[in-house]
Amino acid sequence: MTNLKAISSRTVGHYEARADAYWAGTHDHDVRQNINALLDAIEGTPPHTILDFGCGPGRDLKTFSELGHVAIGLDGSTRFTEMARAHSGCEVWTQDFLDLELPREHFDGVFANAVLFHIPTAALPRVLRQLHASLKVGGVLFSSNPRGQNQEGWNGERYGAYHALDVWRRYLIAAQFTEITHYYRPAGAPPAQQHWLASVWRRAT
């Protein structure tokens, strides 16, 4: 049986111990394609209320705020949430991804960039249902995960589940999301070098 608490604790501990190095290595990454994919899919007049799920040190959280949206961050690492508040000036929640307390029908969009692959498949259906419930009807979930062939396990001190598109679709559809689009990143690279699967989903009902 998968020990979800131990998986979460060990993975979060990895990021806690390397928070400053992680910020140094990722603060200048260009993810505008992903941010635009979420915002372009949200219907209605901005500003939108956005949950940056797995916000890390707050890079994208700050971008959403600077674009005029109401941006709220969430991360399991206390160090990351402290950094995200300081960097973005936004509200940031410290919550374990496997023990979420999210408001219902509150968000226009959920931005889950490079984070949902840390959810063990044993817990993924529940987490996806919680994200679905946190969105307003018509709201949008963006996800970006490393591509894989449905393998799962430890990569050093981090746990990961690496889904192929057809399996990832089954999880999202089962959670009552409707697919809007998907693409592979980085843009313009040969297919063999596009190691990230991005997908955009709507809560239809």
Q: Which amino acid is at 169?
A: R
- Residue 109's pLDDT band, with cuts at 50, 70 and 90, is very high
Q: How confident is the model at residue 156, as a pLDDT?
A: 94
pLDDT digits (tens, 9 = 90+) for 69-102: 999 999 999 999 999 999 999 999 999 999 999 9
The span from the CA of 57 to the CA of 82, in Å, is: 8
Q: pLDDT tens across 112-145, in order?
A: 999 999 999 999 999 999 999 999 999 999 999 9
In degrees and rounded to multiples of 5, residue 77 shows phi and psi of -90, 120
What is the average per-residue pLDDT within 55-82? Answer: 98
Model pLDDT for residues 138-167, shown as the tens digit of each residue: 999 999 999 999 999 999 999 999 999 999
Average pLDDT over residues 167-196: 95
Check whether 42 has a pLDDT greater than 90: yes
- Helix 59-66 crosses helix 78-88 at what angle (to 10 degrees)? 30
Tell me, what's the pLDDT at 138? 97
Query: Which amino acid would we find at residue 116?
Result: L
Mean pLDDT in residue range 39-59: 97
% of the chain surpassing 70 pLDDT: 99
Q: What are phi and psi of 111, to 5 degrees?
A: -105, 105
Q: Is the dihedral of CA 95, 118, 62, 139 positive or negative?
A: negative
Query: Residue 1's pLDDT band (boundaries 50, 70, 90)?
Result: very low
pLDDT at res. 2: 62
Structural domains in the chain, CATH included, are 4-203 (3.40.50.150)
Mean pLDDT score across all residues of the chain: 96
